[in-house]
């Protein structure tokens, strides 16, 4: 009875482990994988913090147009009797004046900016442009993440398909080994030929092991990109390699890039902010005008009490040192404008290069598919003919095994070529800024 209970427990544990393993499998289409990758991207979390920082800078710039109200107060204790000499109407106080041991003082000052040469206005608008630039940079990073996930998905797909091809060929090779062993035992083939077939089987087993190793590495990479547990086994969509559309002329993709590249749009916002920065730097040479107001209260026991001392007026501030000092902020801002202008030219050149390169790669990848399909067709036919010759004693074992190896390589090549073509098309879309989630 005890043995039966132990068996039941072991079976339950086995079923539980099997169910746990089954729960770790997750089927994902490429677009679903991209969505997960964007949701869990560490880089996008950094970008979100940068947007918050830029928004805080905008808030700081807006705060400069608001009134400034400062309140201060102090209490002072005088341990030594001060000498107080008050002259009122020609009379002066003598040594017999009041004893002063403490002073209480408080004030409130209000300042409302009226004119600052445009520094506040330029600062607010510049900060708005920089917030928009941060958001556009985030969108550009999303496009890059979408391609990185597609690249990882492509590697996982190719490794998975290679495993299937090698498993099919390994099963056929093992069956062939069994047939050759029987033929050797019946004296129909030499032992050396049978060993050559066994060696071919071992080579296929090694290729299968390598494919499984590549699959495991690609799967872990996908788990990390998507924010999934590392034990999750991802099953890819078999229709992935059929995605894509007809490639249009290269000028179409260059125009698409000019209109949709988020990094280019972000640079435009940065240049606008830099232009306003130059205007703000020039405004430093202008005076500032503000409405001012204040309130003062003081109490010196046995001597003086002041309250309701309210004042209002207009304050003008101008830094006279600007007359002989060089405006370094202006020079820095102008240099920044030049840098961004040169960066814009360089980025436009790089966009042209990237689009043309990926356009050529996409065209090349599509053409490779036809070549590999033709090679696979030839390899399969060659193996069929060689097998028929071998069965009729017209071909050697070496020729048969070479034909089999060529057939495997050609079939794997077709799969890889289709997957690479689908990925190349997505890379082309990334360079145009139009790689989106469906």
**Do 413 and 171 touch, CB atoms closer than 8 A?**
no
Q: Which helix H or strand E contains 306, and what residues bound it?
A: strand 304-317
- What pLDDT is recorded for position 88? 62
Highest mean pLDDT among 117-131, 337-351, 399-413: 337-351
- What pLDDT is recorded for position 244? 60
The answer as to whether 262 is a domain residue is: yes
Alpha-carbon distance of 145 to 34, in angstroms, equals 8
* pTM of the model as a whole: 0.77
Alpha-carbon distance of 141 to 94, in angstroms, equals 80
The strand pair at 25-28 and 233-236 is best described as parallel
- What pLDDT is recorded for position 95? 54
Q: Report the pLDDT averaged over residues 57-82.
A: 88
The answer as to whether 254 is a domain residue is: yes
Model confidence over 357-413: pLDDT tens digits? 999 999 999 999 999 999 999 999 998 999 898 888 888 877 888 888 888 889 888
The answer as to whether 3 is a domain residue is: no
Asked whether residue 14 carries a pLDDT value surpassing 50, the answer given is: no
Give the confidence band of 5 by pLDDT, cuts at 50, 70, 90: very low
Asked whether residue 201 carries a pLDDT value surpassing 70, the answer given is: yes
**Do 158 and 422 touch, CB atoms closer than 8 A?**
no
The answer as to whether 79 is a domain residue is: no
Q: What is the CATH number of the domain that holds 401?
A: 1.20.1600.10
User: Among 422, 425, 139, which Cα is nearest to 261's?
Assistant: 139
Alpha-carbon distance of 263 to 136, in angstroms, equals 7
Q: Domain tally for the chain? A: 1
Model confidence over 258-285: pLDDT tens digits? 999 999 999 999 999 999 999 988 888 8
Alpha-carbon distance of 42 to 229, in angstroms, equals 15
Q: Tokens for 80, please give them.
A: 């030594």
- What pLDDT is recorded for position 32? 87
The answer as to whether 236 is a domain residue is: yes
Question: How would you list the strands of the sheet with 304-317, edge to edge?
Answer: 68-77, 102-115, 288-300, 304-317
Distances (CA, A) of 292 to 13, 113, 265, 313: 80, 9, 43, 5
Asked whether residue 11 carries a pLDDT value surpassing 50, the answer given is: no
Residue 248 backbone phi and psi in degrees, to 5: -90, 175
Asked whether residue 120 carries a pLDDT value surpassing 80, the answer given is: yes
The answer as to whether 185 is a domain residue is: yes
Q: Report the pLDDT averaged over residues 288-296.
A: 90
- What pLDDT is recorded for position 96? 57
- What pLDDT is recorded for position 321? 82
- What pLDDT is recorded for position 171? 87
User: Among 170, 169, 176, 80, which Cα is nearest to 390's?
Assistant: 176
The answer as to whether 10 is a domain residue is: no
User: What secondary structure does DSSP assign to 25-83, as a single string?
Assistant: EEEE-HHHHHHHHHHT-HHHHHHHHHHHHHHHHHHHHHHTTS-EEEEEEEEEE-SSPPP
Q: Report the pLDDT averaged over residues 216-227.
A: 90
Alpha-carbon distance of 180 to 187, in angstroms, equals 10
Q: Which domain holds residue 182?
A: 26-67+118-284+329-432
Asked whether residue 106 carries a pLDDT value surpassing 50, the answer given is: yes
Sign of CA dihedral 86, 87, 89, 93: positive
Helix, strand, coil percent values for the chain (each to nearest 5): 70, 15, 15
Residue 395 backbone phi and psi in degrees, to 5: -135, 155
Mean of pLDDT over the chain: 85
- What pLDDT is recorded for position 19? 45
Highest mean pLDDT among 7-11, 128-132, 178-182: 128-132
The answer as to whether 299 is a domain residue is: no
Q: Report the pLDDT averaged over residues 89-98.
A: 57
User: Among 238, 245, 244, which Cα is nearest to 29's?
Assistant: 238
The 3-state DSSP class for residue 227 equals coil
């Amino acid at each position: 009875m005890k043995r039966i209970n132990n068996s039941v427990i072991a079976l339950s544990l086995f079923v539980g482990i099997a169910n746990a393993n089954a729960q770790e499998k997750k089927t994902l289409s490429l677009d679903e994988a991209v969505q997960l990758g964007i949701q869990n991207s560490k880089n996008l979390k950094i970008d979100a913090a940068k947007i918050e920082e830029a928004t805080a800078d905008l808030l700081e710039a807006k705060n400069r147009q608001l009134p400034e109200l400062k309140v201060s107060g102090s209490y002072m204790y005088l341990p030594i009797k001060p000498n107080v000499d008050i002259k009122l109407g020609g009379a002066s106080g003598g040594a017999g004046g009041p004893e002063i041991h403490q002073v209480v003082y408080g004030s409130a000052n209000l300042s409302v900016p009226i004119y600052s040469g445009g520094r506040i206005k330029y600062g607010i608008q510049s900060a708005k442009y920089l917030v928009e630039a941060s958001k556009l940079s985030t969108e550009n990073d999303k496009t890059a993440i979408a391609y990185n996930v597609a690249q990882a998905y492509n590697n996982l797909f190719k490794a998975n398909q290679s495993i299937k091809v090698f498993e099919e060929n390994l099963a056929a090779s093992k069956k062939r080994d069994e047939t050759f062993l029987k033929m050797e035992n019946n004296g129909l083939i030499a032992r050396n030929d049978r060993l050559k077939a066994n060696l071919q089987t071992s080579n296929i087993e090694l290729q299968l092991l390598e494919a499984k190793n590549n699959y495991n590495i690609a799967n872990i990479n996908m788990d990390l990109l998507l924010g999934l547990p590392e034990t999750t086994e991802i099953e890819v969509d078999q229709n992935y390699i059929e995605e894509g559309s007809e490639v249009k002329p290269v000028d179409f993709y260059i125009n698409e890039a000019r209109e949709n590249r988020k990094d280019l749009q972000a640079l435009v916002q940065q240049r606008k902010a830099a232009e306003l920065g130059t205007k703000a730097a020039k405004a430093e040479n202008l005076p500032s005008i503000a409405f001012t107001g204040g309130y003062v209260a003081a109490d010196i026991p046995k001597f003086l009490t002041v309250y309701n001392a309210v004042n209002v007026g207009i304050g003008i501030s101008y830094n006279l040192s600007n007359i002989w000092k060089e405006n370094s902020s202006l020079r820095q801002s102008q240099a920044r404008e030049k840098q961004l202008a040169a960066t814009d030219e360089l980025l436009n050149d790089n966009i042209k290069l990237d689009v043309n390169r990926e356009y050529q790669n996409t065209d090349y990848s599509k053409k490779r598919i036809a070549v590999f399909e033709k090679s696979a067709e030839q390899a399969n036919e060659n193996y069929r003919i060689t097998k028929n010759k071998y069965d009729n004693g017209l071909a050697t074992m070496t020729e048969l095994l070479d034909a089999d190896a060529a057939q495997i390589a050609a079939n794997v090549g077709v799969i890889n070529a289709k997957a690479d073509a689908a990925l190349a098309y997505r890379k082309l879309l990334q360079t145009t800024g139009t790689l989106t989630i469906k």
